[in-house]
Amino acid sequence: MKKMLCALAAAAALFGGAQLFDSGSGESAANGVAPSNTFRLVANGDEGVCTVTRGASLSDGLSRLTVAPNCRGLLPGVERAKFWREQDDGAVAFSANGVDPIVTFSVADGDGYESYAPATPILSLAADKPDPAD
């Protein structure tokens, strides 16, 4: 009986986890809200902020990217990025040529991404939420 309860609890946890991830994306579609393509790039906890915009999809996982010129102050060279590449594990890389990453982000706790390469500065990337007053 104890083994049966453990197996049932594990199955429920697995199902609940799948629903948690699935409901996050399905909820936006159900509400008719498209995911944001504009992101705030932040260095080391608000030391600097700039805007990046994910553009049209070019192929599976590869999209155009527009980086504001002032992003150079956060990470020199990032302003040259023209491509957003999303990996199967959810990691995102910005590159100038679609292949060689300038900066790579992993999915962060909560909403958004956190850079891991290069190691410094640490950058966070989060969807820019529209102002409700607009």
pTM recorded for the entire structure: 0.70
* Out of 19-28, 85-94, 120-129, least confident range: 19-28
List, for residues 93-130, the tens digit of each pLDDT value: 999 999 999 999 999 987 799 999 999 999 999 998 76
- Average pLDDT on 65-92 reads 95
Every domain of the chain and the residues it spans: 1-31, 38-127
Q: pLDDT class for 46, splitting at 50, 70, 90? A: low
What residue has token string 């083994």?
3
Backbone angles phi, psi at 50, to 5 degrees: -150, 175
115 close to 102: Cβ distance less than 8 angstroms:
no
* β-strands 83-86, 92-95 pairing: antiparallel
CA distance 17 to 14: 5
Is 14 strand, coil or helix? helix
Distance (Å) of CA 52 to CA 11, 30, 66, 133: 40, 26, 6, 22
